[in-house]
A and B are shown apart, each in its own frame.
Chain A
Amino acid sequence: MNDTRPPQLQVRDLKTHFFTEDGVVRAVDGISFVLDKGRTLGLVGESGCGKSVSALSVMGLVSPPGWIVEGEILLDGLDLLEVPESGMRQVRGNRISMIFQEPMTSLNPVFTIGNQIMEAIRVHQKVSRNEARDRAIEMLRKVKIPAPETRVDEFPHQMSGGMRQRVMIAMALACGPEVLIADEPTTALDVTIQAQIMELLAELQSDLKMSILLITHNLGLVAEVSDHIAVMYASKVVEYTGTRELFASPAHPYTHGLLTSVPTLGMPRDRELNVIPGQVPNPLHFPSGCKFHPRCPLAEERCQTEEPLLEEVQPGHWAACHMIEGGSLPLSGVNP
């Protein structure tokens, strides 16, 4: 984790707002993160924190009333926000691909899976139908679908949830992208199937040398597969650092609260779970100052008025909180 690699994907001060009838929803409000080449970055947060909208922004898939109002998205130095839509079509699916949470709704039910994978290939590369079909079968073999020669002609409804997610992965990786965005790829799946899919993704990552942006709410999952983690709360990244560092010494009170409020296997049962009081705020009416202050055990007056910036509190460890002094938080003890 210590060797540095050049950044594959850099997001700087990205703002994506939705201009709805009820007002402006600041779904993503100035986030920055770096995904290094061949690495995995975990983007963690609860529902509505803006993690999926961040991913869609990177893919250039935000549609009105949503607009990217500010920021930079650099793919290997190329600012994707400067690229016209016609150019984005060459990037999307070719250099950056995405897999989604619900494999059933992301696949077209009226086409065979082979057809759908072939389409992804033929949009980007000039190959004949037969070649594309061979490539599709090859991809299905790569994602370990048994008997790929026959299953290539099956329809999505003939497959189980785990198999469909494999098909999605095959489709996303058909053109050998540099970056794969995985938006809650295993949330709809059972744990034993989740283990299969995560193992497959890890294998393919080292095979194809791609970088993965893993979006999830599952802290266990990011702990196991990511190199770095960005924690999002209410449209902002509140903490960003290496995985070991984050779990060993979380700096932001929200991260600390999250880590201590989930039961983990084998933890003593007489220990009460920590509670983050209150609710996740509504993006139409975010609290003033630090958005976490109404739920924060450490909040003081300044937190109600002044929004903290994401600052480097330790080398390589960024957090946005007024209460951090000398790199550590007055809260401690994630694993007593």
Chain B
Amino acid sequence: MTHPANGNNQVLLRVRDLKTHFPVREGVFSRVAAWVRAVDGVSFEIHEGETLGLVGESGCGKTTVGHSVLRLIDYTAGTVEFEGKDLNRMPPAELRAMRQDMQVIFQDPFSSLNPRMTVGSIIGEALAIHGRGNRRERAEIVRETLQKCGLDPAYTNRFPHEFSGGQRQRIGIARALALNPRFIVCDEPVSALDVSIQSQIINLLAELKEQYDLAYLFIAHDLSVVEYISDRVAVMYLGRIVEVATSDELYHNPLHPYTQALLSAVPVPDPTRQKQRTVLPGDVPSPIDPPSGCRFHPRCPLAIDICKQEEPQKSEVDGHSVWCHVAEEQR
């Protein structure tokens, strides 16, 4: 079903040291009082036809990463290269053309579809903007795309409110798919859906990926979903990636104490399985003033002196990377 993460496939997206900071403004003159370091030095690569899962708790910056790599938000520092071209240095016209290959699916299928547009125009808008075909050809593409996504092509003249959550998410997927992209950012695509509908959408995304050789950046907080759909998984904590590994490796051999705690905190629908649970103390700190050294150290059960002072560096063995002083030692 999936490609292993290997070197055979070309790198499609390369992100280096990405930083996205938001100003916090204050007072009459909107003076910048502080910076929210939502994403603070993130690097990863996505190969052609590969799914990279990005997990983390709310506020860790995973959505900001997704929006930054599409340049839906301008990032503060770092580079994002799509097919070897730096998005930040690209002239607007070229960026627009490039966007045909990079699309996005949003979390909330209710607020992400314009209620005044018909399904046909929602899906066909991008085709018109990028000048694909004439009106009749575009209508044909819309119908085909609807069918690909498991919707009746006769729905083109209906409005979003006529559909259920699962169907709307299919419309959102059809919109992303219409231009035949190579890369899609899926931003929590199933978390707003009911349990019985989630698997419909997960299966659809997996099928489409296989059929059209799509690469996904799959952002979610639900570890079981991410583990299931991704080839590789990156775990984020407070604006940083703390661990990257293949999905199997991460599940069977998590190295970072945060990943371990996250995995152990997920309730498993199997009452016969007794789990050893690591309950993390405290809350995620504020990204305005992150802790010194390793950002996880105030909650870490393994923290030693060095963790408070020095930021851990990447340690990589066989494509399994971890940013942790203790884990590095133990390797």
Contact = CB atoms under 8 A, between A and B. Distances in A.
Given A191-B57, A192-B280, A269 B271 contact: no
Nearest to A279: B164
B261 A269 contact: no
A262 interface: yes
A264 B224 contact: yes
Nearest to A229: B271
Interface string B166-198: 110000000000000000000000000011111
Interface string B262-303: 111111111110010101110110000000000000000000
A100 to B, nearest CB: 19
B266 A191 contact: yes
A103 interface: no
B195 A194 contact: no
A196 interface: yes
A276 B196 contact: yes
Nearest to B248: A269
B283 A261 contact: no
B50 to A, nearest CB: 13
Given A247-B270, A247-B271, A262 B195 contact: yes
Contacts of B221: 190-191
A324 B247 CA distance: 39
A244 interface: yes
Contacts of B251: 265-266
B56 to A, nearest CB: 9
A258 B195 contact: yes
A47 B194 contact: yes
B269 A259 contact: yes
Contact of A275 (B194, B203, B252, B279): B203
A184 to B, nearest CB: 13
B330 to A, nearest CB: 22
Given A223-B271, A264-B269, A269 B1 contact: yes
Given A224-B267, A247-B272, A269-B1, 19 more contacts: A163-B283, A191-B265, A192-B57, A192-B265, A195-B265, A199-B277, A217-B194, A223-B269, A224-B275, A247-B271, A263-B225, A265-B224, A265-B266, A269-B228, A269-B229, A269-B247, A269-B248, A273-B203, A279-B167
16 contacts: A191-B57, A192-B261, A192-B279, A193-B283, A195-B277, A195-B279, A195-B280, A196-B279, A199-B279, A223-B270, A262-B195, A263-B225, A269-B229, A273-B199, A276-B200, A280-B196
